Amino acid sequence: MDSTALGDRLGVALLSLGLSTLAASSLLAQEQTQSAKPRLERVAEFPHQVTGVTVSRDGRIFVNFPRWTEDAPVSVAELMKDGSLKPYPDAEWNGWRNAKKDLISPSDHFVCVQSVVADQRGNLWVVDAAAPAQGAVVAEGPKLVQIDLKSNRVVRVYSFGDSVAPQASYLNDVRLSPDGNFAYLTDSGARGAIVVVDLGTGDARRVLDGHPSTQPEKGLVVQADGHDLRRPDGRGIEFAADGIALSPDGSLLYWQAIKGKTLYRIPTKALQTDGLRGKDLALSVEPYGANGVADGLLIAPGSGRLYITSPEDNAIRLRDLSGAHTKPSTLIQDERLRWPDTFAQGADGTVYVTTSRIQDSAFFKPDAPPALTTQLWRLEGTAAGEEATGSLPATPVPATK
Please enumerate in sequence order all residues whose Cβ is within 8 A of that of 219, keeping only pairs 6 or more positions apart, or say none: none
Total structural domains in the chain?
Answer: 1
Range of the domain at 301: 40-380
Q: What's phi and psi for 144, nearest 5 deg?
A: -120, 120
| 396, part of any domain | no
Whole-number Å distance between alpha carbons of 200 and 276: 19
Whole-number Å distance between alpha carbons of 147 and 215: 31
Mean pLDDT (whole number) for 87-116: 97
Give the pLDDT band (50/70/90) at residue 360: very high
Closest CA to 82 of 38, 44, 27, 120: 44
Residue 259 Cα to chain centre, angstroms: 15
What region, left, alpha or beta, does residue 122 occupy, with left being phi > 0 and alpha being psi -120 to 50 degrees? left
| 240, part of any domain | yes
Cα separations (Å) of 87 from 80, 210, 344?
A: 10, 36, 19
Mean pLDDT (whole number) for 122-141: 97
pLDDT at 274: 74
The more confidently predicted of residues 395 and 228 is 228
| 1, part of any domain | no
CATH number at residue 108: 2.120.10.30
| 237, part of any domain | yes
The per-residue b/e assignment along 109-132, b for 16 or more CB within 10 angstroms, e otherwise, is: bbbbbbbbbbbeeebbbbbbbbbb
Please enumerate in sequence order all residues whose Cβ is within 8 A of that of 27, keeping only pairs 6 or more positions apart, or say none: none
One DSSP character per residue, 74-88 reads -SEEEE-TTS-EEES
| 17, part of any domain | no
Helices (H) and strands (E) in the chain, counts: 3, 26
What's the alpha-carbon Rg for the chain, to the nearest Å? 23
**Range of lowest pLDDT (24-28, 182-186, 262-266, 392-396):** 392-396
Give the pLDDT band (50/70/90) at residue 35: very low
The more confidently predicted of residues 288 and 302 is 288
pLDDT at 275: 62
The string of pLDDT tens digits covering residues 226-275 is 999 999 999 999 999 999 999 999 999 999 999 999 999 999 999 998 76
Closest CA to 154 of 106, 56, 105, 88: 88
29 pLDDT higher than 50: no
Whole-number Å distance between alpha carbons of 114 and 289: 27
| 351, part of any domain | yes
The string of pLDDT tens digits covering residues 188-222 is 999 999 999 999 999 999 999 999 999 999 999 99
pLDDT at 12: 41
Whole-number Å distance between alpha carbons of 62 and 52: 8
The more confidently predicted of residues 278 and 39 is 39
**Range of lowest pLDDT (16-25, 222-231, 382-391):** 382-391
Whole-number Å distance between alpha carbons of 215 and 211: 7
Query: Percentage of residues in the chain with pLDDT exceeding 70?
Result: 85
The more confidently predicted of residues 261 and 34 is 261
Please enumerate in sequence order all residues whose Cβ is within 8 A of that of 326, keeping only pairs 6 or more positions apart, or say none: 289, 319, 320
* Angle, CA 319 vertex, CA 315 and CA 222 arms, to 5°: 45
Q: Is the pTM of this model over 0.75?
A: yes
- Torsion angle in degrees (nearest 10) through CA of 292, 298, 304, 310: -20
Whole-number Å distance between alpha carbons of 277 and 58: 39
Give the pLDDT band (50/70/90) at residue 184: very high
Closest CA to 178 of 33, 358, 299: 299
| 319, part of any domain | yes
Query: Percentage of residues in the chain with pLDDT exceeding 90?
Result: 81
| 29, part of any domain | no
Residue 86 Cα to chain centre, angstroms: 22
- If DSSP codes are grouped into helix, strand and coil, which group holds residue 15? helix
DSSP state, 100?
G
Q: Are 298 and 306 in contact (CB under 8 A)?
A: yes
The more confidently predicted of residues 265 and 401 is 265
Closest CA to 51 of 252, 342, 346, 295: 342
